Structure 1
């Protein structure tokens, strides 16, 4: 039996408490000054804020350049042009892909992320090489974070011969989630694309995550087809739409009926806090599971991304023009337990004022961060952080603890 006692910590920025952890679960919330029990590891909270650890549910570990020399952005507009730019450059990083993915995941953990859903590009150029790189990172940090891997057909499924077979082989080789992308705009055959994605998910009893970069009405059409298949195949609670910012541009009279169907079928949403934000509070009002991710990490798609989900949480609040504490705290809830709900390891947030994850009975995937309030912690993003996974300290002061 493993035991730990976090002393003098403020759950969600509230009054100071001691928190007892037994076998990876929060067992008791206690008054400050509770004496430790025999054999109990003591973790000094020092008055810091206690939050659930972050869940990054939309990251492309396989294209990361974190830690490498900065390079100018050379991509061209559009998904296909950006994909070709990535394809032309990703092998020239000078560092093996498994080393890059493992180092980036280490930095993510050190900054407070212990749940991850990462894409692994599977196409006729990369074969399964990029999948192998992400699986290597998952294995290297198996005692510090939970990682799900999405077999992701970045180039579509119908434009290049052999793409479908590679996607299926990726599922056989250990991917957890079947990916899809822009059924109308990229493959230009949404029925065939979605039939293939949902067919693989049914065959491998796997969830689905579909990139949707399409503009408003095209995104609406694709989303309606996704809804149809989710309902027909009994995939309730197992489908996520990533990005979907085109849906956020729909008139309210078109968006709300779609959100009602998402809620009915428990279709989740993953965002990266884009410059055209989703209607975040409207999603909360409809009970839509929403998680946050960093997307690319200084890669061939974007110079943004720094492995710090607290920074991306700030971006989410900023792009939504949130100023009130409760709205900024909601962004933290989305970035932590909201993401876990997308992964199926926590219940959905119960509205925008729900602050779960640090109560008795919760899994002790936690972080201690510095700030007067939760909002000030988001604004300042200070380095004095301690990260726990299953009740054990895995990082402190933005550095991993224990053997690398």
Structure 2
């Protein structure tokens, strides 16, 4: 396939050749694309870029595909404060939605793909109430859209590992059935037994040879305490490069020296961070994390669900939110947010791939890179983040999988 007249990262007009799922060549753009033969015949598929931006496709590395109402009628928010209150609100309502959980999950994944996401790491809630029903829905959505996106599934104990009977065996059963990652959540504040909680998480990770992703909503010094326990376990288990802390809302709130120490130790232990661009005052600063070499990815979290009315399947909108909540105005920093939303997340799913080490890094579009790509209208990358245009063509493994959006709502 040849992408004709595209602008990699907003640069000069180029023709980009794709072969075997990778970028094979990049050339200055010609009037007629290379591959055209005499008489107008073609020797290769040609996508008319029309001067659009060529960018790495999005990697959503923090999404709850099974917690979604996308495509359904809007409903008033009824959640109560706190993780447990929100979880109970979801538990009370998810079964009675206007469409089955499997349909909603598949629809949401399709919406994400059409908007430009081809790499996904999704949670699948497992608890004493839903058991493996929601996990099965995420597995089914992955199978439905297998040709259009790479999806990793996190076995996620949303209601804790220890508060209800039977959760740990269910988590283990999901790993036997092919869950890609094991999750944890608030070892101190929710389960109130961080030693046992982390024993289980790291023990199952070692037994099934899977990475770890731990939700950390805990405030201030309590959050730092849990982060230090995670660091300690990561080193002891030799799991450098295989642990992600999600959220970490308040890890930057204790002191400047603690912030600097955590960033340095996350870099040394190769612990990644996943953010949903929250409106909070004291997260670890994005620029410092990047410059230290900490892998940082972006995700949409829930999608208009029983936790929140926010989220619409569009990672370009969440990229705007990442720039906005960080107070970024300079083009370089806004473009960096796009790099985090694409290549930053890709490095969480594949720690051996190229990672960001500077706000000026613009990887993902070199010869040999995977052809996970997005054609997007816009004068510049920054203008596209601001305008969030609908003129998009999505490429996965060197093949067009979505063009110009347009899914009908679920009936």
Structure-1-length-normalised TM-score: 0.97
Q: Map residues 5-404 of structure 1 onto 2, 5 A cutoff.
A: 5-33=2-30, 34-36=33-35, 39-276=43-280, 277-344=283-350, 346-399=353-406
Shift of the alpha carbon at 1:352? Answer: 1.1
Distance, in Å, in 1 between the alignment partners of 2:380 and 2:253 is: 33
Shift of the alpha carbon at 1:248? Answer: 2.6
Determine helix, strand or coil for the equivalent of 1:136.
Answer: helix
Distance, in Å, in 2 between the alignment partners of 1:135 and 1:319 is: 33
Give unmatched runs, 5+ long, in structure 2.
Answer: 37-41
Map Cα deviations across residues 156-203 of structure 1 (whole Å, 9 max, x no partner). Answer: 011111111111111112211000000000000101100100000000
Structure-2-length-normalised TM-score: 0.95
Map Cα deviations across residues 322-380 of structure 1 (whole Å, 9 max, x no partner). Answer: 00000000000000000000111632112111000111110000000011100000000
Distance, in Å, in 2 between the alignment partners of 1:94 and 1:138 is: 22
Map Cα deviations across residues 294-333 of structure 1 (whole Å, 9 max, x no partner). Answer: 0000000000000000000000000111000000000000
Distance, in Å, in 2 between the alignment partners of 1:310 and 1:278 is: 22
Map Cα deviations across residues 252-303 of structure 1 (whole Å, 9 max, x no partner). Answer: 1111111111111100000000001541111112111000000000000000
Q: Which moved more, 1:296-305 or 1:165-174?
A: 165-174
Distance, in Å, in 2 between the alignment partners of 1:348 and 1:241 is: 17
Shift of the alpha carbon at 1:31? Answer: 1.4
Shift of the alpha carbon at 1:249? Answer: 2.1
Distance, in Å, in 1 between the alignment partners of 2:213 and 2:387 is: 33
Q: Which moved more, 1:191-200 or 1:271-280?
A: 271-280
The answer (yes or no) to whether the contact 2:15–2:28 under 8 Å persists in 1 is yes
Distance, in Å, in 1 between the alignment partners of 2:210 and 2:34 is: 46
Shift of the alpha carbon at 1:216? Answer: 1.2
Distance, in Å, in 1 between the alignment partners of 2:211 and 2:264 is: 21
Map Cα deviations across residues 124-156 of structure 1 (whole Å, 9 max, x no partner). Answer: 000000000000000000000000000000000
- Misfit runs of 4+, over 3 Å: none
Distance, in Å, in 2 between the alignment partners of 1:351 and 1:379 is: 22
How many residues are paired up?
397
The answer (yes or no) to whether the contact 2:259–2:284 under 8 Å persists in 1 is no
Determine helix, strand or coil for the equivalent of 1:248.
Answer: coil
